Amino acid sequence: MDSPKNKFKARLAAGDTLIGCWAALTAPVAMEITAAAGFDWVLIDGEHAPNDLRTTLAQLQVSAAFPAHSVVRTPHLEPWLIKQYLDIGAQTLLAPMVDTPEQARALVSATRYPPEGIRGVGAAFARASAYGSRTRYIATANDQICILAQAETAVALNNLAEIASVPGIDGVFIGPSDLAASMGYPGQPAHPEVQRAILDGIAIIKASGKAAGILCMDPVLAGTYISAGVQFIAVGSDVSTLAKGLGALASRFKDATVTEPEASVH
């Protein structure tokens, strides 16, 4: 039996626009709710959320029951950790802070079995191969791995065409917040200069023949990015949805509470 087909990768290659959600609560139950909501993909965040290998594994297991494709963001570019993420069944990785084509090539190499790369061969013990029952996993896995490089600094934008052109890079994801800070506008991803850089970056990625991605929780701006050609976009997160929803619920009733008038004294 071959490696499972990566439908997310196939849809990007077909030019589809995929709507996703950031998942940072780390809990399997929260992931079940998010994966069942109807998104095309969900992002299990290992960089800024307190996820480790075990919590990521648990979320991959529960999300497998739903059509939403699970993308895993690695905390860094270390090959040994990338190997572990792949072995627990992640087929699509979002890798942060890819600033140079050399880093992009090393990233791709870490995800491929030899002779195409340096991924260690231990599939018999891995969930990725259904613990050895997918007997052709090693022979077919390379073609089903999807790699999304994050370009989130001014350096990365200067190297964007070269990063996107690296064989094995399926898409480039622009990180607005880190990019804004790198450009000298910390906390201002909506600054006109940052927005100009983002739109220019989307055009460069598209021209390379690769898929452009971004996280944007502003519906109007998200529409602008989709019109500009973004193919995979996260439009919200489990954390912000829960926090805003609970805050609004509390305010609705606390603000509506009317202090009873004091009884008249006769």
Helix axes 53-63, 79-87, angle to 10 degrees: 30
CATH architecture, domain defined by 7-256: Alpha-Beta Barrel (3.20)
Q: How many CA atoms lie within 13 A of 168 on its CB side?
A: 19
Catalytically annotated residues: 48
Give the closest residue to 193 by CA, choosing from 179, 212, 207, 175: 179
Predicted confidence at residue 265, as pLDDT, reads 45
The predicted-structure confidence for 199-211, as pLDDT tens digits, reads as follows 999 999 999 999 9
Q: Say if residue 43 is exposed, middle or buried (CB neighbours under 10 Å; 0-12, 13-18, 19+).
A: buried
Nearest CA among 48, 45, 5 for reference residue 21: 45
Q: What pLDDT, on the 0 to 100 scale, is given for residue 103?
A: 98
Residues of the chain below pLDDT 70: 258-266
Strands (E), the chain: 18-23, 41-45, 69-73, 92-95, 146-151, 171-174, 211-215, 232-237
Structural domain spans, the chain: 7-256
pLDDT score at 262? 53
